[in-house]
């Protein structure tokens, strides 16, 4: 820890470390810059998701028929992004494990530029499909590179807001893509994406992640990068000290057990897979992500025009409803960001989930009564119900998954955990989007909304039972929570056994 004390001595000389816990404005803006570099790619990812909503109707309108673009091809254009991300979900965590966080981010940015060049030059559905396959790397970076950078580069007091901003920026991208495609040609979406990617390329000037440097034993570089990002105040120094101390201990344990035998490697894999610090955060993260996808919000956004057209029987109302739905989604996310500074993570996630689930059941009942001709269909009521559902879901389940699993996953298990979680998430997302049209046909609209309501209720209950609070806690404190809860159970069991043995012992 000599490096830290040296930095602190230097801090006293230059007067960078005032006697208070608030980070200086300079270091806040450095963290904010890193956040905006990452969110520019999140914005581009939103453009990727929003584009099919507008270019599919335009392609059909230009051909004046649905024959050149079949329903099956349209569903692939809406869902192939998830399937094409699978190889990159494996490649990117490996890169972030061995070469750091910054270089993989730059690779993602360059490949995203290439994909939108193909997008801009596309003349038919097959060209657009190739473009979306190339954009798979952008989607894969969402939970492998971008979330890691924002989590590791930001201080605990700003981390939650930064990560919720990236979630809202994603839907800004969806909305901008829909607005651009509604009032101009869909190719203009590529121009916006290109500008954002150019800004993301400025990431060459930011340092490597302090956490990654610490994991690899480069503690001097870790301290320099940490001070560049977070300054020299007491809070920052304590976080750095805990980080280095934790990783030194972990490296020491690894060195003591170091061996090249295959049995040893299998033992390490077994120990990792059975460690509660590995599978508990992973399962909770899967639950949070499942709550988001099974709420049906992403399905409503991707198929907004078709859904609203079925409900209202009006194409003009469908496009207006789509833009309103996207606008209130963004509004809900901004409300969620504000509420995240007031409420605890767990409280915000569960309360907004319950409200959103309630609207899912109301929409299902409303559509069922229309189907029975008990009530007359109203365009205003339909759009109001959908927008109310969107606001509720966006305040919590939509903006909080990346924040929660970015915080609760252990640093030492981050690469393998994010690999598994990203594979799970992208496969789930692509499958939910691909099967959505078939679900609407098989169960009708009211049955589909009922299905989403019941599914989301199950995951919300599980999270209510097991998800801990993480607000304003350092990554090390959150890690200690899972360790201590496990140790407490073991200690309680041991105490119970000892007490029972004492009671069963013969009395003198």
Write the burial class of residue 154 (CB in 10 Å: 0-12 exposed, 13-18 middle, 19+ buried). Answer: buried
Q: What is the pLDDT of residue 462?
A: 93
Q: Are residues 98 and 185 in the same domain?
A: yes
Domain C-terminal end among 206, 226, 241: 206
CA distance 438 to 181: 26
Confidence category of residue 47, pLDDT binned at 50, 70, 90: very high
Q: Are residues 312 and 426 in the same domain?
A: yes
Q: Are residues 143 and 281 in the same domain?
A: no
Query: In sequence order, which residues have a C-beta less than 8 Å from that of residue 300 and are 6 or more positions away?
Result: 307, 325, 386, 389, 390
The 10s digit of each residue's pLDDT in 185-196 is 889 999 999 999
Residue 313: pLDDT above 80? Answer: no
Q: How many degrees, rounded to 5, is the angle at CA 408 between CA 405 and CA 414?
A: 75
Number of domains in the chain: 2
In 3-state terms the chain splits into helix, strand, coil percentages (rounded to 5) of 85, 0, 15
Q: Are residues 137 and 282 in the same domain?
A: no
- Whether residue 506 lies inside any domain: the answer is no
Q: 167-171, 271-275, 385-389: lowest mean pLDDT where?
A: 271-275
448-454 contact pairs (CB < 8 A, 24+):
448/296, 449/296, 449/360, 449/361, 449/363, 449/364, 449/367, 450/360, 450/361, 450/364, 452/294, 452/295, 452/296, 452/299, 452/360, 453/357, 453/360, 453/361, 453/364
**Six token digits for residue 151:** 């989590």
CATH number at residue 144: 1.20.1250.20
CA distance 190 to 177: 9
Q: What is the pLDDT of residue 113?
A: 95
Q: Are residues 38 and 187 in the same domain?
A: yes
Q: How many degrees, rounded to 5, is the angle at CA 350 between CA 348 and CA 356?
A: 100
CA distance 289 to 272: 22
Residue 104: pLDDT above 50? Answer: yes
Q: What is the pLDDT of residue 322?
A: 80
Q: Are residues 320 and 407 in the same domain?
A: yes
- Containing structural domain, residue 328: 273-470
Region 93-120 average pLDDT: 92
CA distance 438 to 485: 44
Residue 494: pLDDT above 60? Answer: no
- Do 125 and 73 touch, CB atoms closer than 8 A? yes
Residue 319: pLDDT above 50? Answer: yes
Domain C-terminal end among 147, 174, 206: 206
Q: What is the pLDDT of residue 353?
A: 93
Mean confidence (pLDDT) of the chain: 80
Q: What is the pLDDT of residue 103?
A: 93
Domain C-terminal end among 148, 177, 206: 206
Region 422-440 average pLDDT: 85
**Six token digits for residue 81:** 């992004």
Confidence category of residue 109, pLDDT binned at 50, 70, 90: very high
CA distance 407 to 157: 12
Q: Are residues 198 and 277 in the same domain?
A: no
Q: What is the pLDDT of residue 3?
A: 43
Q: Are residues 49 and 194 in the same domain?
A: yes
Write the burial class of residue 205 (CB in 10 Å: 0-12 exposed, 13-18 middle, 19+ buried). Answer: exposed
Q: Are residues 190 and 302 in the same domain?
A: no
- Whether residue 220 lies inside any domain: the answer is no
* % of the chain at pLDDT higher than 90: 20
- Whether residue 245 lies inside any domain: the answer is no
Q: Are residues 360 and 444 in the same domain?
A: yes
Residue 103: strand, helix, or coil: helix
Q: Are residues 43 and 147 in the same domain?
A: yes
Residue 487: pLDDT above 60? Answer: no
- Do 348 and 401 touch, CB atoms closer than 8 A? no
Q: Are residues 160 and 281 in the same domain?
A: no
CA distance 360 to 79: 23
Region 77-102 average pLDDT: 87
Query: In sequence order, which residues have a C-beta less than 8 Å from that of residue 183 and are 6 or more positions away?
Result: none
Region 78-90 average pLDDT: 86
Residue 287: pLDDT above 60? Answer: yes
In order, the DSSP letters of 376-421 are ---HHHHHHHHHHHHHHHHHTTTTSHHHHHHHHS-GGGHHHHHHHH
- Do 28 and 158 touch, CB atoms closer than 8 A? yes
Region 482-496 average pLDDT: 49
The 10s digit of each residue's pLDDT in 337-352 is 788 778 888 889 999 9
Residue 162: pLDDT above 50? Answer: yes
The 10s digit of each residue's pLDDT in 250-280 is 777 766 665 555 565 666 667 667 777 788 8
The 10s digit of each residue's pLDDT in 122-135 is 888 889 999 999 99
The 10s digit of each residue's pLDDT in 6-29 is 444 444 444 444 444 444 678 888
- Whether residue 175 lies inside any domain: the answer is yes
Residue 91: pLDDT above 50? Answer: yes
**Six token digits for residue 363:** 């929409």
- Whether residue 244 lies inside any domain: the answer is no
In 3D space, the residue among 219, 251, 212 whose CA is nearest the CA of residue 7 turns out to be 219
- Whether residue 33 lies inside any domain: the answer is yes
Q: What is the pLDDT of residue 63?
A: 64
The whole-model pTM stands at 0.70
Region 400-419 average pLDDT: 76
Residue 42: pLDDT above 80? Answer: yes
- Do 127 and 78 touch, CB atoms closer than 8 A? no
Q: What is the pLDDT of residue 485?
A: 54
Q: Greater confidence, 160 or 324?
A: 324
């Amino acid at each position: 820890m000599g490096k830290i004390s040296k930095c602190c001595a230097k801090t006293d000389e230059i007067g960078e470390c005032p006697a208070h816990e608030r980070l200086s404005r300079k270091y806040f803006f450095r963290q904010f810059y890193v956040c905006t570099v990452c969110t520019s790619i999140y914005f581009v990812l939103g453009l990727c998701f929003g584009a099919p909503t507008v270019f599919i109707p335009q392609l059909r309108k230009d051909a004046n028929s649905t024959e050149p673009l079949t329903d099956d091809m349209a569903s692939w254009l809406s869902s192939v992004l998830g399937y094409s991300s699978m190889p990159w979900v494996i490649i990117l965590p490996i890169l972030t494990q061995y070469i750091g966080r910054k270089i993989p981010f730059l690779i993602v940015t360059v490949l995203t530029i290439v994909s939108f060049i193909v997008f801009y030059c596309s003349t038919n559905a097959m060209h657009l499909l190739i473009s979306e396959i190339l954009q798979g790397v952008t989607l894969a970076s969402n939970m492998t590179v971008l979330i890691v950078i924002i989590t590791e580069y930001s201080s605990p007091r700003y981390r939650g807001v930064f990560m919720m901003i990236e979630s809202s920026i994603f839907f800004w991208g969806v909305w901008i893509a829909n607005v651009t495609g509604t009032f101009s040609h869909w190719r203009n979406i590529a121009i916006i994406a290109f500008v954002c990617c150019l800004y993301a390329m400025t990431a060459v000037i930011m340092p490597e992640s302090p956490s990654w440097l610490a994991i690899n034993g480069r503690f001097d570089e870790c301290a320099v990068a940490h001070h560049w990002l977070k300054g020299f105040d007491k809070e920052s120094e304590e976080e750095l000290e805990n980080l280095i101390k934790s990783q030194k201990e972990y490296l020491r344990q690894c060195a003591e057990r170091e061996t090249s035998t295959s049995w040893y490697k299998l033992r390490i894999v077994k120990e990792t897979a059975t460690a509660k610090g590995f599978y508990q955060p992973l399962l909770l993260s899967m639950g949070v992500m499942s709550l988001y996808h099974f709420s049906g919000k992403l399905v409503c956004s991707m198929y907004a025009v078709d859904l609203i057209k079925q409900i209202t029987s009006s194409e003009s109302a469908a496009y207006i409803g789509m833009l309103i739905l996207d606008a209130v989604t963004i509004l809900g996310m901004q409300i969620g960001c504000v509420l995240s500074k007031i409420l605890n993570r767990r409280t915000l996630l569960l309360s907004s989930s319950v409200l959103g689930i309630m609207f899912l059941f109301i929409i299902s009942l409303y559509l069922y009564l229309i189907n029975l001709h008990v009530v007359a269909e109203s365009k205003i009521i339909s759009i109001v119900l959908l927008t109310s559902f969107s606001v509720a879901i966006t305040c919590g389940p939509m903006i909080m998954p990346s924040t929660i699993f970015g915080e609760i996953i252990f640093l030492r298990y981050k690469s393998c955990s994010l690999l598994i979680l990203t594979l799970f998430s992208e496969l789930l997302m692509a499958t939910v989007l691909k099967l959505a049209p078939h679900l609407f046909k098989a169960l009708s609209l009211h049955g589909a909304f009922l299905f989403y309501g019941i599914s989301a209720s199950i995951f919300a209950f599980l999270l209510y039972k097991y998800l801990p609070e993480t607000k304003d806690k350092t990554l090390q404190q959150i890690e200690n929570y899972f360790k201590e809860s496990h140790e407490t159970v073991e200690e309680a069991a041991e105490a119970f056994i000892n007490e029972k043995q004492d009671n069963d012992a013969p009395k003198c």
